[in-house]
Chains A and B, each alone.
Chain A
Amino acid sequence: MSIHATHIARPVTVSRVMLKVLAALLPGIAVSAYCFGPGVLLQLLLATVTALGAEAAVLRLRQRPVTPALADLSAVVTAWLLALSMPPLGAWWMIVLATLFAIVLGKQVYGGLGHNPFNPAMVGFAVMIVSFPAQMAAWGTPLTTLDAAAQLQWIVTHTLPAGSNLDAISSATPLDVLKTGLLQGGQTAGQLLQQPRFGHWGNAGGEWVALAWALGGLWLWQQKLIPWRTPLAMLAGVLAVSLPLWLWQPAHYASPLFHLLNGATLLAAGFIVTDPVSGSTTPLGRLIFGFLVGVLMVVIRVFGGFPDAVAFAVLIMNMAVPFIDQTTQPRVFGRKGGRHA
């Protein structure tokens, strides 16, 4: 162990930052595993192994040193974020394929960590939701009666032990239920939200997972690893669209609280829009980037074809980042006005 003089700060390394991000995910993982069962943990394991394997394989092909890139843990962060956005009881090949797309086509093709214009985890997620919408919509029922062994068997072999009910392991997400319910008509959003699937605050079980993501995000902010601007701007964007819609026609649109606690909203606010590589880096740019991610997310959720939209919102805004960053350059000290330093 190296010893530093007390006035010299310990150097911030990528692997330390990534380790803290992983630590910040732990509360959410714990709650998620409690709600949806140990299948979540198997998904995390599969994603981690695939990500490290794919990263090592591509680095070898590119004739780059393998060990430092694996030790920076960024591939593990991508893998975990992806595994946590995928259905907890999805088949094994889904998470493996998604991770391969994320690491190989989302990250390494562009040159590895720091060069990827798109958030790799969201690339993997978007590939899956576009290619396999039915399988991606089948989420486990929270607080399911299915025991651990049956869950693991389902993920690996796609068969269930005798006596288990398929309904217990695949139910639509609250976002999905609300969307199809409103499309079918006959019931108002308020009536639909009375179903037990929605719990007290709009997402039985899932609401606690969401709050645990928020906790992890707050800790990262306290550790000065993520800026406050992007997540707050994103939540403001969510409110800016969902609140007026809800006030205008509460029968047709879910409350802002529903949008906050459902899907990947709080996971995205803490861990996805704060990605330093694919997100905006200027102070004003972070506000614009986060706000528009939030706006797009609710707009696509409410008016688009897919139930959740974090991935699409983030990818679309990733495309706009170079433009945002270029037009929001802060003034260089000692110069007048100039945007372009």
Chain B
Amino acid sequence: MSNTPSVWQDIARKGLWQQNAGLVQLLGLCPVLAISNNVVNALALGLATTLVTALSSATVSSVRHWVPHTIRNPVFIMIIASLVTCVDLAMNAWLHELYLVLGIFIPLITTNCIVMARAEAFASRQPVREAAWDGAMMGLGLTGVLVALGALRELLGKGTLLAGADKLLGPAGQQLTLHLAGADYQFLLMLLPPGAFLGLALLIAGKNVLDARARQRAAAATYPAPDAEASPAP
């Protein structure tokens, strides 16, 4: 990395990895833990959250000069809630079966801390394009965690991957489902809430291990000068 990364790369790196909403900020844990029992549900909720975060960040950023500081939170919540209602109605119309499975967690995106946190911490003080990019990257970072956790729990819990893909992709999706264990295989713990906590803990530990290795390598490469780019330990 000879030249300094552009602001876009920086935002992307923070959203996807360094400040990952699920693994570092630990925001929005309620849907992460509740919906991650298979890949399809996790992916659908992750993408819906991404859409809301990107759109709300862009909207919040575009009105940031006209929102009085003292009432900014109610205004942001109104914007977020309207966008979530749009996503909710759209999913009900076009992805009805998936909508029934995800249930209350679609409207609950309104209260997801990530959306509000990005509006408050980033979008309310940055230009529109940067804010939208940041919202999308934060959302995709969360989607990645959701899908990884969903895959882990679905694989260990039921021995399948992408079960119910037809709900997301139509009838063709049925062929995507992988059955990697016998039909009677079930490890209930991973499908129950403890599995979500254990799985998330393992993912966080895994990220910390990778980060520690990367820091060690960077320190070895640039010794004696400490690496200015190294992120502070979470």
Q: Name the interface residues of B180-198: CB closer than 8 Å to any CB of A.
A: 187-189, 192, 194, 198
Describe B's contact surface by its main secondary structure.
helix
Residue from B188, B189, B192, B194 whose CB has the most chain A CB atoms within 10 Å: B189
A125-133, A208-216, A246-254, A275-283: which lies at the interface: A125-133
Partner of A105, one of B187, B188, B192, B198: B198
From residue B128, how far is it (CB to closest CB) to chain A in Å? 45
Q: Are B188 and A132 in contact, CB atoms less than 8 angstroms apart?
A: yes
By beta carbon, the residue of chain B nearest A97 is: B187
Describe A's contact surface by its main secondary structure.
helix
- Size category, B interface: under 10
Distance in angstroms between the alpha carbons of A199 and B64 in the assembled complex: 78
Residue from A127, A131, A132 whose CB has the most chain B CB atoms within 10 Å: A131
Q: Are B198 and A130 in contact, CB atoms less than 8 angstroms apart?
A: no
* B194 neighbours in A (Cβ, 8 Å): 130
Q: Contact string, B101-115, partner A, CB cutoff 8 A, digits 1/0?
A: 000000000000000
* B192 neighbours in A (Cβ, 8 Å): 130
Q: Contact string, A129-140, partner B, CB cutoff 8 A, digits 1/0?
A: 011100000000
Distance in angstroms between the alpha carbons of A341 and B27 in the assembled complex: 39
Q: Are A131 and B198 in contact, CB atoms less than 8 angstroms apart?
A: no
From residue B7, how far is it (CB to closest CB) to chain A in Å? 39
From residue A109, how far is it (CB to closest CB) to chain B in Å? 8
From residue B152, how far is it (CB to closest CB) to chain A in Å? 15
* B188 neighbours in A (Cβ, 8 Å): 130-132
Q: Name the interface residues of A28-76: CB closer than 8 Å to any CB of B.
A: none
- Enumerate the 4 nearest inter-chain pairs by beta-carbon distance, A residue then B residue, closest first: A131-B189, A131-B188, A131-B187, A127-B189
Which residues of B are at the interface with A, using a C-beta cutoff of 8 A?
187-189, 192, 194, 198
Given A127-B189, A130-B194, 8 more A-B residue pairs with CB atoms under 8 Å apart are: A105-B198, A130-B188, A130-B189, A130-B192, A131-B187, A131-B188, A131-B189, A132-B188
